[in-house]
Amino acid sequence: GRRAQIMAYLKAHTEATIKEILAGTGLSRTASEKTIQRELAGLVESGLASKTGEKRWSRYRLAGA
């Protein structure tokens, strides 16, 4: 699903913004920025990804990367 696509994108790229993930995965056709933000928040909360920065400057990466 969406989380698998996001994880694959983060694995291929060192770090990314929500907009980069939307454009790079093709999820922009089926999901909004807010949806991707919620998915990423879930990944961060579960320890699979980490977040740096705040608001528009947030960047995400795989945990341990």
DSSP string, 9-57: HHHHSS-B-HHHHHHHHSGGGT--HHHHHHHHHHHHHTTSEEEES-GGG
pLDDT tens track for 27-36 = 999 999 999 9
pLDDT tens track for 9-50 = 999 999 999 999 999 999 999 999 999 999 999 999 999 999
Q: Could you tell me if 39 and 30 are in contact, meaning their C-beta atoms sit under 8 angstroms apart?
A: no
pTM here is 0.90
Q: What count of residues does the chain have?
A: 65
Q: Could you tell me if 59 and 65 are in contact, meaning their C-beta atoms sit under 8 angstroms apart?
A: no
pLDDT at 65: 67
